[in-house]
Amino acid sequence: MNIVGTMVGMTLMASASPMVMNMAISPAEAAKRAQNFGVAETAAVVFAATYEGTLDIPTDTETCTSEAREGTANAYSVTCTHGTDKYVQSVTRAFRLAVPDTDLDNGDGASATREFANKAPDRFSGHQCPYYDAWGVNGYNDQYYTALGGACIPLIGWTQTNYQLSHPDEWLYDINNRNGWGNHPDY
């Protein structure tokens, strides 16, 4: 090999070494970020699980901060952060507190003033009532309550628009303030 070939090879290696160095470090940086993300994710899940379904107002920790979600009743989000400098990773999760017993009737702590043909279910599942049993009171809830984890949701309680356009005189049980949508204007 001649001197020119050696010089060209050395020049190429010298100019490429910063890129080779970055390629060598990138997997280690990605692994550190992934590790910090895992720690932040675990902290967020544990924080949310601690307060989910309780009446306790969340208190911030060293790594996690929470705040009430705007426009929702008893809903919060938590953001947990772990790592330093360019390896900082953050995760945000949402959770909901339990609805206090005093608010189960109509959302304002007062008792309901209307009477309905059926008792309102203790809890709802995430399933809509079928059209052949629009309120679940003709046997659907009796048959599927346990399997679904609660009563089916009536069509008029499925969306806020349906809820607002319905009339409480036509309800088979009390769904006032469903999903924290507030007292029905005609209640």
Sole residue written with tokens 């809890």 = 123
pTM here is 0.47
Nearest alpha-carbon partner for 78 in 60, 96, 87, 65: 65
Element (DSSP H or E) covering residue 30: helix 3-51
pLDDT value, residue 132: 94
pLDDT in tens, 13-28: 556 556 555 556 688 8
pLDDT value, residue 140: 95
Q: Are 141 and 149 in contact (CB under 8 A)?
A: no
Q: Which two tokens stand for residue 103?
A: 């608010």
pLDDT value, residue 141: 94
Q: Is 5 helix (H, G, I), strand (E, B) or coil?
A: helix
For residue 158, pLDDT beyond 50: yes
Q: Compute the distance between CA of residue 75 and CA of residue 52 in angstroms, rounded to an integer.
A: 9
pLDDT in tens, 96-153: 887 665 544 455 544 456 889 999 998 898 899 999 999 999 999 999 999 988 999 9
Which of 38-42, 81-85, 136-140, 146-150 is the least confident region?
146-150
How much is the average pLDDT of 83-97? 92
pLDDT value, residue 98: 78
Burial (CB < 10 A; 0-12, 13-18, 19+), residue 50, is middle
For residue 49, pLDDT beyond 80: yes
Sole residue written with tokens 């984890």 = 149
Q: Is 14 helix (H, G, I), strand (E, B) or coil?
A: helix
For residue 7, pLDDT beyond 80: no
